[in-house]
Amino acid sequence: MTGKKIIQQFGFEEEDEPKSIYPFSPVYKVKAGDQDYIIKRTQTNYKGLINYTRMLSSEGIPVVTPVSLTEDNPQLIEDDAYVVYPFIHGSSYGAKKDKIYEAGKLLGKIHALSPAENQYGLGEYDVYDFNEEEVTESVEAIAKHATKFQADIDANKLQKKFIRIMENQNALKNAELPHVATPHDYKANNLIYTPSPYLIDPDNATWIPRIFDLALALLLFHNELESAPDRLFTPSEWRTFLSGYQSHIQLTEPEILAWKQAVEHVFLDEVMWLMAEFEEDWEQESQHGLFKQLIDVLYDNSSYTLSE
């Protein structure tokens, strides 16, 4: 279905075919009267997601929830679900100490509000089945991209590291790690500062080991945002983020012991896929610096502990 027809399904008028404001999925900005809105694809099982985000909002978390319309919102359109959110006006993230601290604090608040059980029926994380064939194919794709765009990556060393990580996945699966309901995908491009951070994309909400969500923030917080630096947090910035986070969360001993392996596993799950599947990311020279730092941290994440 065209973007124009999707927009019309929610009662908005659009003369021309709209252009998505996000390159990787349909996200449309529309205007009605003096109000701006975002229409985007969301989870097919959206009822639990909406109940979850409404709970967060009722507890004072600044997060988008579906706007009231005469049409159903969210709604299924053919095989996909779409939702209309308010467009949040504000400023983008910059790597300033106060913004980093507030971002960490918001994630801590969100995790602290998680129920003890998955009462919202969110999708449950269960990615513990990587195999050597999958790793080999991903490394081959990464090496191909790196060669094409003249990025210096030791593919053999990378593959050996991935296979060693893969061997630890069952131990992580069986570890007694606290799980949380979380928007997941907690990155700077999903926050707008108003001036406090406001979460504008909760649509990947998941039931997941808490430190996996924290590890994803460490690895990819600066990805896909022009106003963010083309690198990871510095160790000092990470301590600032963690300080904000731990103002609301006390991590358990099993989490602290599993942290190194959790960071490596999340790399295998999220970063390996990112580097292998999206050649267009390699076209951006700024991504080379980020990818290089990500690989460096993969080999040694000792500067990014869970101690402030």
Beta bridge partners of 42: 81
Higher-pLDDT residue of 175, 230: 175
Averaged pLDDT for residues 235-251: 97
The pLDDT value recorded for residue 257 is: 95
Helix, strand, or coil here: 61?
A: coil
Q: What is the mean pLDDT of the chain?
A: 93
Question: Please, which pLDDT band fits residue 171 given cuts at 50, 70 and 90?
Answer: very high
Contacts of 67 (CB under 8 A, 6+ apart): 37, 73, 84, 85, 86
CATH 3.90.1200.10 residue ranges of the chain are 97-299
Average pLDDT on 14-40 reads 89
Tokens of 49: 């997601």
CB neighbours of 144 closer than 8 A, spacing ≥ 6?
none
Whole-number pLDDT of residue 13: 85
Q: What local confidence, expressed as pLDDT, does residue 280 receive? A: 77
Tell me which architecture the domain covering 97-299 has in CATH: Alpha-Beta Complex (3.90)
Asked whether residue 134 carries a pLDDT value surpassing 80, the answer given is yes
pLDDT band of 45, cuts 50, 70, 90? confident
The 10s digit of each residue's pLDDT in 261-287 is 999 999 999 999 888 888 777 877 777
> What band does 308 get if pLDDT is binned at 50, 70 and 90?
low
Of 219 and 277, which is predicted with more confidence? 219
Q: Has residue 68 got a pLDDT over 90?
A: yes
Decide: 77 and 10 in contact? Cβ < 8 Å.
no
- For residue 294, count other CB atoms closer than 10 A to its CB: 20
pLDDT at 184: 95
User: Could you tell me the fold of the domain covering 3-86?
Assistant: Phosphorylase Kinase; domain 1 (3.30.200)
Looking at the chain, the domain(s) classified CATH 3.30.200.20 span 3-86
Q: If you average pLDDT over residues 183-206, what whole number do you get?
A: 96
Structure tokens, 161: 């590291």
Strands (E) across the chain are located at 27-32, 35-42, 75-77, 80-86, 123-124, 179-182, 191-193, 197-199, 206-209
Classify strands 206-209 and 123-124 as parallel, antiparallel or unpaired: parallel
Is the pLDDT assigned to residue 84 strictly greater than 90?
yes
